[in-house]
C-alpha cells in the first residue's frame, strides 16, 4: 500500500520545493550506499559501535559534526529534532524552573516542558518585515521577561523559524548569561547555515548553549536525522544521559551512515551549491527573510490565496510546495534542487503572475504585538488535572489540556494550560475551512480541564 502510494506520488511530482532536503533521493546520487541502501543496516556488534554509548566510529562522526558546527559536542539523533528538543529541555532544567518560551514554538517544545515540569513564561514576538509572517524573539522581549521574573533559569527560542527569519541569538545569549541563565535554540531549519557565508551564522557560534538542527530539512539526509549541539557551559555526559532517554536503543545504521554522508556533502559542496542555488533563484525575485533558500511568494493583492496558488502549482505543474496559508506559499529550496526544478517553478510563478484579478485583495492579518504572559496553569499541571473532551465551539473559557496545532508547521494555536478564547476558536475554524491538518483534536473535540 505505501509503496504504491509513493509510486503514484512520484508520477505526480515534477519538482520538489518542500522537505526533505534530499529531494526525492536526488541528493543520494554518488553516496556509497546508493546502490544497496539497506545493506548498511546492521545492529550493535563487535566492530559496529553503539549509538547509545559510542566509543568508535559513531563517536568519531559525532566529533566531526561538532567541528562543523563549532560545538563542544554533537549528538547524532535518529528520532528527529523532536527527540533532541525533549533531551535538551530535560537535561537543562529542573521541575519548577521558570523558563522563557517562544509562543510560536514547535509542539515538541511544549512536550518537553510537560515532561520536565518547568514553568513557562511565554513571549510572543512581533511579526517579521513581511507583515503576515511571524517574527522571532527579540532581546528586548527577553529583557522584559527577565525584569518581570528575575528567577528565570533560561530560554527556549526558535531561530530560524519555519519561514526563515532568524533571531538575534548573540544578544539574547549575552543577556541570559549575565543572569546566569542558559539559551536553548530550536534551530531545526538551520542545518545548512555553517556551510556558506551567504547564510546566517549558526546558533552555537553566536553563543547559544544548546541547539538542535534537522539535517533532513535542508541537507541531503533522510527524514528523522538531526543533531543536538552543545556549547562549552553544558555537560556532555548529562546530555548523553538525556538523549538516551528520548532516543531508540535500536537506531537505523542507514540513518547514521546517511547523516555522516550529508555532513561530508555539506562540508565539501555546501558553499558552491549555495552559490549555484542563489544564482538560479535570484532571477525569480521572490520575497524571503534571512534564509534566501526559503521563498515566500504571494498574490494576495490579486485576490489569490496561498491555498489557490498551491493547488494551481500542484495540479497544473506538478510542483509541491512546503506550505500554504491564506496569504502566501512557502517554497523550500535546497542544494539538491536542479536547474530544471527552478525552471518549472519559474513557469508556475509566471502563470500565477499572469492571471487576472480573482477578487478583492486579501487583507493582511492584523499586526502581532509583542507580549509576555503566563498561562492559567502550567502545561504539566494541565495534563495531571481531571479532563475530558468538549466540542471546540463550546470550549470558550475552558483550560486547554493538549496542544492544538496546524500542520505544517506544528506551531500551537492552543497551549496546554491556556484559556481557550473566541479568537483562537475562530482561527481554528478558519484553518479547518481551508482544509489544514489540525493536530491535538478528535472529531472537533478538544481536551479541557474539568
Question: In angstroms, rounded to a whole number, what is the distance separating the alpha carbons of residues 40 and 32?
Answer: 10
> pLDDT value at position 36?
55
Neighbour tally for 138: CB within 10 Å: 18
Residues with Cβ within 8 Å of 327's Cβ and at least 6 positions away in sequence, in order, are: 132, 298, 300, 305, 306, 362, 364, 365
Q: Which CATH number belongs to the domain containing residue 343 in this structure? A: 3.90.1150.150
pLDDT at 170 over 50: yes
- Calculated CA dihedral for residues 152, 116, 420, 125, nearest 10 degrees: 40
Instruction: Grade residue 27 by pLDDT with cuts at 50, 70 and 90.
Output: confident
Residue 353 cell numbers, joined: 503572475
| 178 bridge partner residues | none
Residues 66-123 have pLDDT tens digits of: 999 999 999 999 999 999 999 999 999 999 999 999 999 998 999 999 999 999 999 9
Looking at the fold, whether 187 and 123 belong to one and the same domain comes out as: yes
Looking at the fold, whether 98 and 247 belong to one and the same domain comes out as: yes
Q: 179 or 3, which is more confident?
A: 179
Which of 265, 285, 303 delimits the end of a domain?
Answer: 265
Tell me which DSSP letter residue 182 carries: E
Which of 240, 265, 290 delimits the end of a domain?
Answer: 265
Which of 354, 388, 419 delimits the end of a domain?
Answer: 354
Question: What domain range is 308 assigned to?
Answer: 2-25+269-354
Instruction: Look at phi and psi of residue 242 and say left if phi exceeds 0, alpha if psi is from -120 to 50, else beta.
Output: alpha
pLDDT at 273 over 80: yes
Looking at the fold, whether 18 and 41 belong to one and the same domain comes out as: no
Looking at the fold, whether 316 and 230 belong to one and the same domain comes out as: no
Looking at the fold, whether 18 and 153 belong to one and the same domain comes out as: no
Question: In angstroms, rounded to a whole number, what is the distance separating the alpha carbons of residues 251 and 236?
Answer: 20
* Residue 168 domain flag: yes
Among 30-34, 283-287, 357-361, which stretch is predicted with the lowest mean pLDDT? Answer: 30-34
Question: In angstroms, rounded to a whole number, what is the distance separating the alpha carbons of residues 59 and 55?
Answer: 5
Could you tell me the end-to-end alpha-carbon distance of the chain, in angstroms, rounded to an integer? 41
Neighbour tally for 415: CB within 10 Å: 25
Looking at the fold, whether 439 and 397 belong to one and the same domain comes out as: yes
* Residue 363 domain flag: no
Q: Which CATH number belongs to the domain containing residue 416 in this structure? A: 3.90.100.10
Looking at the fold, whether 212 and 164 belong to one and the same domain comes out as: yes
Residues with Cβ within 8 Å of 366's Cβ and at least 6 positions away in sequence, in order, are: none
Identify the three-state secondary structure at position 266. Answer: helix
Residues 189-243 have pLDDT tens digits of: 999 999 999 999 999 999 999 999 999 999 999 999 999 999 999 999 999 999 9
Q: State the residue for C-alpha cell 552555537.
A: 204
Q: Per-residue pLDDT averaged across 411-436, rounded?
A: 85
Question: In angstroms, rounded to a whole number, what is the distance separating the alpha carbons of residues 397 and 402?
Answer: 15
Instruction: Grade residue 3 by pLDDT with cuts at 50, 70 and 90.
Output: very low
* Residue 392 domain flag: yes
Q: 313 or 446, which is more confident?
A: 313
Looking at the fold, whether 35 and 118 belong to one and the same domain comes out as: yes
Q: Which CATH number belongs to the domain containing residue 42 in this structure? A: 3.40.640.10
Looking at the fold, whether 438 and 335 belong to one and the same domain comes out as: no
Residues 185-197 have pLDDT tens digits of: 999 999 999 999 9
* Residue 367 domain flag: no
> b/e for 228-263, b at 16 or more Cβ within 10 A?
bbbbeebeeeebbebbeebbeeebbbbbbbbbbbbb
Looking at the fold, whether 72 and 221 belong to one and the same domain comes out as: yes
* Residue 361 domain flag: no
* Residue 142 domain flag: yes
Looking at the fold, whether 339 and 445 belong to one and the same domain comes out as: no
Whether 293 and 334 have beta carbons less than 8 Å apart is answered as yes
Q: State the residue for C-alpha cell 521563498.
A: 295
* Residue 369 domain flag: no
Tell me which DSSP letter residue 323 carries: E
| 438 bridge partner residues | 406
Number of domains forming the structure of the chain:
3
Q: 102 or 407, which is more confident?
A: 102
Looking at the fold, whether 261 and 390 belong to one and the same domain comes out as: no
* Residue 368 domain flag: no
Q: 253 or 39, which is more confident?
A: 253
Q: Per-residue pLDDT averaged across 17-32, rounded?
A: 77
Q: State the residue for C-alpha cell 541563565.
A: 181
| 76 bridge partner residues | 227
Residue 130 cell numbers, joined: 513581511
Whether 22 and 336 have beta carbons less than 8 Å apart is answered as yes
Whether 438 and 428 have beta carbons less than 8 Å apart is answered as yes
Amino acid at each position: 500500500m505505501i509503496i504504491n502510494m509513493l509510486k503514484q506520488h512520484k508520477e505526480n511530482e515534477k519538482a520538489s520545493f518542500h522537505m526533505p532536503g534530499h529531494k526525492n533521493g536526488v541528493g543520494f546520487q554518488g553516496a556509497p550506499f546508493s546502490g544497496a541502501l539497506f545493506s548498511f543496516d546492521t545492529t550493535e556488534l563487535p566492530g559496529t559501535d553503539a549509538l547509545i554509548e559510542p566509543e568508535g566510529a559513531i563517536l568519531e562522526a559525532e566529533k566531526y559534526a561538532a567541528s562543523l558546527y563549532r560545538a563542544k559536542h554533537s549528538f547524532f539523533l535518529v528520532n528527529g529534532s523532536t527527540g533532541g528538543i525533549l533531551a535538551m529541555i530535560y537535561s537543562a532544567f529542573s521541575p519548577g524552573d521558570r523558563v522563557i518560551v517562544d509562543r510560536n514554538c514547535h509542539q515538541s517544545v511544549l512536550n518537553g516542558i510537560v515532561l520536565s515540569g518547568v514553568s513557562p513564561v511565554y513571549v510572543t514576538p512581533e511579526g517579521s518585515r513581511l507583515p503576515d509572517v511571524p517574527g522571532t524573539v527579540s532581546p528586548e522581549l527577553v529583557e522584559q521577561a527577565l525584569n518581570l521574573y528575575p528567577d528565570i533559569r533560561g530560554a527556549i527560542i526558535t531561530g530560524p523559524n519555519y519561514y526563515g527569519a532568524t533571531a538575534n541569538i548573540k544578544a539574547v545569549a549575552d543577556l541570559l548569561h549575565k543572569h546566569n541563565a542558559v539559551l536553548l535554540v530550536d534551530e531545526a531549519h538551520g542545518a545548512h547555515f555553517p556551510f556558506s557565508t551567504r547564510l546566517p551564522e549558526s546558533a552555537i557560534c553566536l553563543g547559544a548553549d544548546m541547539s538542535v538542527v534537522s539535517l533532513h530539512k535542508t541537507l541531503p539526509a533522510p527524514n528523522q536525522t538531526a543533531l543536538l549541539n552543545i556549547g562549552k557551559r553544558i555537560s556532555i555526559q548529562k546530555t548523553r544521559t538525556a538523549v538516551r532517554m528520548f532516543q531508540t536503543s535500536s537506531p537505523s545504521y542507514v540513518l547514521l551512515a546517511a547523516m555522516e554522508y550529508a555532513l561530508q556533502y555539506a562540508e565539501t559542496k555546501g558553499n558552491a551549491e549555495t552559490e549555484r542555488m542563489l544564482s538560479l533563484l535570484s532571477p525569480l525575485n521572490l520575497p524571503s527573510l534571512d534564509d534566501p533558500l526559503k521563498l515566500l511568494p504571494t498574490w494576495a493583492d490579486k485576490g489569490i490565496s496561498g491555498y489557490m496558488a498551491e493547488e494551481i502549482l500542484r495540479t497544473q505543474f506538478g510542483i509541491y510546495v512546503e506550505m500554504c496559508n491564506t496569504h502566501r506559499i512557502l517554497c523550500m529550496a535546497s542544494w539538491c534542487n536542479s536547474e530544471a526544478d527552478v525552471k518549472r517553478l519559474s513557469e508556475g510563478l509566471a502563470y500565477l503572475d499572469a492571471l487576472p484579478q480573482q477578487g478583492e485583495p486579501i487583507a493582511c492579518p492584523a499586526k502581532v504585538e509583542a507580549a509576555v504572559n503566563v498561562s492559567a496553569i502550567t502545561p504539566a499541571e494541565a495534563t495531571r488535572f481531571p479532563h475530558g473532551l468538549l466540542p471546540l465551539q463550546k470550549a470558550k473559557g475552558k483550560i486547554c489540556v493538549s496542544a492544538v496545532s496546524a500542520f505544517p508547521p506544528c506551531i500551537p494555536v492552543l497551549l496546554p494550560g491556556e484559556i481557550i478564547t473566541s479568537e483562537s476558536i475562530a482561527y481554528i475554524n478558519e484553518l479547518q475551512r481551508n482544509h489544514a491538518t489540525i493536530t491535538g483534536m478528535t472529531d472537533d473535540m478538544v481536551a479541557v480541564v474539568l
